[in-house]
């Protein structure tokens, strides 16, 4: 008997030879890791790769007492089998993925004079193609269909017959999420096996069609960051073939395992299975371990720190109209410069009078110089403010001599001798509102629904002090990930988003509210650390009263 080392499973792909007459293999084996590696181990979940995303995986399993024993008094096989499964899947369209799976017998150790010894060898057992489609996708439930074609590569297998063709399996899945930590899924279907003619003088006849079924449970342990998985899976033959062995033509197996994420793209599996009775391809015990690697679209992909911390997939910013929405997602390419847009890059129909098209801190309605270049200091009517050709730049001046430079002074006309805060306003007339961790949809100026609710609660008190309001200054900031010009524009649009909520929902006068975007120019922490970048991605609001 040929012996192949365990590590050879890493290179056993489609080029491996077909195995010879291993009596269990083929699609009788219900331990088939899912091609997409999502959710459970063998049970299909409601998760599906997004278009262009894909995975590659490798599982190894070691089974004890898998082979059948002759009912004629033959010696027990006492077998030990090592099998590999190489699989992968790719998202083709929203809610649809295609996958493949290759199963190889790496090593088999069988006692002498047993039925299993005469019928086992190493090599490829099967090659499977899968299609998975999801029809229903809600927060609580996911429903879809499965279709697979299995090409058996085992010669002279009595359970397949002589000259078998591919088998076709059609089924469905249902997954239910019961809480943040618990979900379960059910799979069921019918497998049509294109069996060949019975082998001559064999005490075993081919199994025709099968019904297959499975149940999976996934519990997420938040403290350990680990998924604990339990599964029950099996199949039942629709005919009663001649089978002079100690094995039933049906099988049932239970699995207990764990799944842990490692690094950014890899998940590891480990677990054990137990056959609940002596069925075909059901070992007494099975130990398995596996890895799955996940990848994003191969073009234009880079990695960077996400808006909420952590290393995430990003894309090179290709935004030809400069609206903050990538070209690949922009449904309105060619939007005029500095136009307020939604997450799809299309203009938002709002009153342009409350916007600040040239980002100088003065609203369009009050701006007498509407095309001031970004970064130029302006006066109260939006025009460049200069004292003369040789004068010091306005930003570095302190007009009211309160010790706070103009570019940081929110109250530039404070009377002389008045004690002021770091922002240049009297202590009892300015309040810095902590907006909390506001989250925006990535690459856009639109608040996520949860952040919008939290923000709305934070600002509700402004309605009570409406008559005392002098000015509200909203300042948007980013970290240093991405281009400086892109970040400046994005921070300005986000500050304007906050202003729009104040004007449209609280009905506060737009002329009293300023939206300023500073991009990455005013960090409050180091951009070299994850925590520092998180602190720098912020929106600050200062409320100034009479």
pLDDT at residue 219, as a whole number: 93
Q: What is the pLDDT of residues 27-38, one digit of tens each?
A: 667 788 999 999
Distance, in Å, from the CA atom of 389 to the CA atom of 511, rounded to the nearest integer, reads 31
Structure confidence at residue 113 (pLDDT): 46
Q: Long-range contacts made by residues 379-386, C-beta under 8 angstroms, separation at least 24? A: 382/358
Confidence of residue 287 (pLDDT cuts 50, 70, 90): very high
Output the average pLDDT for the chain.
77
Taking only the tens place, the pLDDT of each residue in 343-353 is: 566 666 544 44
Long-range contacts of 177-180 (CB under 8 A, 24+ apart): 177/139, 177/140, 177/141, 180/220
CB of 127 within 8 A of CB of 17? Answer: no
Return the SS3 of 306: coil
Res 40: pLDDT: 95
CB-neighbour burial class of residue 510 (10 A; exposed 0-12, middle 13-18, buried 19+):
buried
CA distance 47 to 66: 32
CA-based nearest residue to 516, from 492, 536, 485, 486: 492
Which has the higher per-residue pLDDT, 361 or 263?
Answer: 263
**264 contacts 311 by C-beta, under 8 angstroms:** yes
**pLDDT computed for residue 188 by the predictor:** 96
Whole-angstrom distance, CA of residue 133 vs CA of residue 48: 8
Q: Lowest-confidence range among 105-119, 172-186, 276-290, 445-459?
A: 105-119
- Measure the CA–CA gap between 113 and 78, rounded to whole angstroms: 11
Q: How far apart are CA 23 and CA 81, in angstroms?
A: 12
* Least confident interval from 8-17, 205-214, 224-233, 408-417: 8-17
CA distance 422 to 158: 86
């Amino acid at each position: 008997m040929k012996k192949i080392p365990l590590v050879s499973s890493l290179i056993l792909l489609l080029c491996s030879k077909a195995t010879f007459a291993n009596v269990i293999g083929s699609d009788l084996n219900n331990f088939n890791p899912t091609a997409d590696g999502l959710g459970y181990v063998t049970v299909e979940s409601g998760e599906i790769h997004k278009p262009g995303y894909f995975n590659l995986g490798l599982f190894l399993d070691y089974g004890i007492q898998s082979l059948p024993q002759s009912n004629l008094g033959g010696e027990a096989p006492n077998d030990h089998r090592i099998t590999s499964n190489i699989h992968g899947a790719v998202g083709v369209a929203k809610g649809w993925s295609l996958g493949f799976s290759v199963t190889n017998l790496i090593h088999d150790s069988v006692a002498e004079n047993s039925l299993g010894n005469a019928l086992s060898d190493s090599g490829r057992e099967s090659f499977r193609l899968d299609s998975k489609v999801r029809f229903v996708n809600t927060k609580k439930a996911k429903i879809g269909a499965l279709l697979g074609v299995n090409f058996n590569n085992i010669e002279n297998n009595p359970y397949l017959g002589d000259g078998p063709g591919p088998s076709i399996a059609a089924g469905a899945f249902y997954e239910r999420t019961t809480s943040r930590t618990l979900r379960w899924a059910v799979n069921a279907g019918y497998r049509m096996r294109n069996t060949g003619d019975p082998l001559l003088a064999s005490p075993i006849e081919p199994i025709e069609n099968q019904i297959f079924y499975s149940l999976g449970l996934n519990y997420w342990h938040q403290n350990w960051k680990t998924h604990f998985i339990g599964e029950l899976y099996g199949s039942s033959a629709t005919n009663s073939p001649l089978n002079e062995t100690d094995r039933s033509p049906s099988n049932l197996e239970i699995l207990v395992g764990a799944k842990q994420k490692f690094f950014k793209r890899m998940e590891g599996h480990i677990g054990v299975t137990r056959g609940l009775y002596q069925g075909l391809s059901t070992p007494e015990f099975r130990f398995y371990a596996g890895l799955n690697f996940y990848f994003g679209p191969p073009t234009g992909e880079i990695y960077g720190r996400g808006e909420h911390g952590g290393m995430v997939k990003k894309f090179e910013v290709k935004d030809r109209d400069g609206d903050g929405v990538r070209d690949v997602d922009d449904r309105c390419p060619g939007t005029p410069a500095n136009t307020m847009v939604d997450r799809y890059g299309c203009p938002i129909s709002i009153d342009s009078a409350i916007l600040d098209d040239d980002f100088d801190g003065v609203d369009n309605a009050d701006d007498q110089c509407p095309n001031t270049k970004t970064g130029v200091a302006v006066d109260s009517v939006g025009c460049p403010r200069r004292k003369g050709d040789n004068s010091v730049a306005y930003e570095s001046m302190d007009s009211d001599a309160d010790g706070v430079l103009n570019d940081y002074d929110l109250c530039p006309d404070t009377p002389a001798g008045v004690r002021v805060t770091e922002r240049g306003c009297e202590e009892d007339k300015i309040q810095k509102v902590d907006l909390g961790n506001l989250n925006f949809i990535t690459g856009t100026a639109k608040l996520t629904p949860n952040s919008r609710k939290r923000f709305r609660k934070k600002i509700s008190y402004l309605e009570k002090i409406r008559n005392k309001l002098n000015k509200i200054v909203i300042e948007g900031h980013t970290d240093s990930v991405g281009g400086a010009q892109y970040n400046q524009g994005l921070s300005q649009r986000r500050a304007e988003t906050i202003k729009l909520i104040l004007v449209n929902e609280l009905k506060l006068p737009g002329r009293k509210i300023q939206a300023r975007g500073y991009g990455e120019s005013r960090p409050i922490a180091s951009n070299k650390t994850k925590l520092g970048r998180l602190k720098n991605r912020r929106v600050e609001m200062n409320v100034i009263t009479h």
